[in-house]
Amino acid sequence: MESIGDYLNKLKDRKGETQKVHSAHQQLAIDVAKGFDDMDHIGIYMKICKVFPDYFVRKKVTLVKEMNPRNPGRYFTSIMFKEMAVDK
């Protein structure tokens, strides 16, 4: 019988495997997360990519990469959540 620690280690090992992508916004979120080297926060990028159109997200990603902030993922997220607040 496996211990809980062994089971959790197996889950961590699976994290690096490729997973099925079911929609365009999921693929875009993966691209954004990989571009910012921030796969830990894929859920936030998924939410953003679900709300905004593809071209708008890509435009903002390019803008953030050109600005070269210290934490690009955080900066991108703050910009996008401000955009969400403006839309309402």
pTM above 0.75, yes or no: no
Q: What is the 3-state secondary structure of the chain?
A: CCCHHHHHHHHHHHCCCCCCCCCHHHHHHHHHHHHCCCHHHHHHHHHHHHHCCHHHHHHHHHHHHHHCCCCHHHHHHHHHHHHHHHHC
Look up the domain containing 61 and give its range: 20-87
Per-residue model confidence (pLDDT) at position 28 = 93
Of the listed ranges 20-24, 62-66, 67-71, the one predicted with least confidence: 20-24
- Let me know: does 30 contact 42? Beta carbons within 8 Å: yes
Separation between Cα atoms, residue 10 and residue 17, nearest integer Å: 11
Give the total number of structural domains in the chain: 1
Checking if the pLDDT of 34 tops 60, the result is yes
- The model's pLDDT over 36-64, given as tens digits with 9 standing for 90+, comes to 999 999 999 999 999 999 999 999 999 99
Domain presence at residue 10: no
Domain presence at residue 3: no
